[in-house]
Amino acid sequence: MKKITVAIDGFSSCGKSTMAKELAREAGYIYVDSGAMYRAVSLFCIQNGWLTDTDINIEELERNIETIHISFKTNNEGKSETYLNGKNVENEIRTLEVANGASRVSTLGFVRRELVRQQQLMGDDKGIVMDGRDIGTVVFPTAELKIFLTASPEIRAKRRLDEMAEKGETPDYEAVLANVIERDDRDQNRAESPLRKANDAIVIDNSNLTRNEQREILRTLFNEKTLE
Ligand code: DC
């Protein structure tokens, strides 16, 4: 069976990482959550006082960008966790504050260039599933299998609401929906590597798909590409 590169792009809260993780596990491939890397940069800025509601200290971030080292390690339960300069930050990067910061630092060209460089190194030997926004267009333009995953903003807001409720939070639906729409807008309209479907990507709209249906579609596509 041929070893390939799988790029999964799409809007936030579409279930990209669930899909990518499952495929990587089944195929015995490396899984990389590229969004976690932008979140780690956001956390690094917050920790240093370089990111507030209104400002980013771009000069300091640029001066220090090469000191940011992001890696992934699999924990005892088989789950991939994000490390920032050797420290496990998996829980810290999942807050709304860090997510909003990630959406802002990801508009900066020098941040993208550094993270893309690190991502391309991770994919040197193929056998990788990476999810994000620019994986099929910029990071791995020659990936054999490219998926563009989408779902309506309302469905994604509802999914995010359910996730937050599971953690005991009680967010307001309208506020969550507004945040989904704001982040979509920023992801699609930034000047640097905006979220776009690659010409050769296959679109999957999972608004009305069960997880099993989605899994079956992906498995069929993966098998086609690896048996070619
Ligand atoms: O997928 P996520 O929500 O964890 O991503 C966090 C932010 O990083 C999101 O606003 C989009 C951005 N991002 C990006 O610009 N490029 C990527 N390859 C992955 C994420």
Distances (CA, A) of 150 to 10, 76, 138, 141: 6, 32, 19, 20
**Mean pLDDT for the chain overall:** 94
Ligand 1 pocket, mutate which of 133, 140, 147 (most atoms under 8 A from CB): 133
Q: Give phi and psi for 102, each to the nearest 5.
A: -65, -40
CA pair distance 46, 39, nearest whole angstrom? 10
39 lines ligand 1 (CB under 6 A): yes
For the cut 90, the answer to whether the pLDDT of residue 133 exceeds it is yes
Per-residue pLDDT tens for 181-221? 998 998 899 898 889 999 999 999 999 999 999 999 999 99
**Fold held by 5-226:** Rossmann fold (3.40.50)
Q: What is the mean pLDDT of residues 149-154?
A: 96
Nearest alpha carbon to residue 36 among 87, 78, 99, 96: 99
pTM of structure: 0.92
Q: Which atom of ligand 1 is nearest to the CA of 106?
A: 15
Which is it for strands 202-205 and 145-150: parallel, antiparallel or unpaired?
Answer: parallel
Each domain of the chain, given as residue ranges in start order, spans 5-226
103 Cα nearest atom in ligand 1:
10
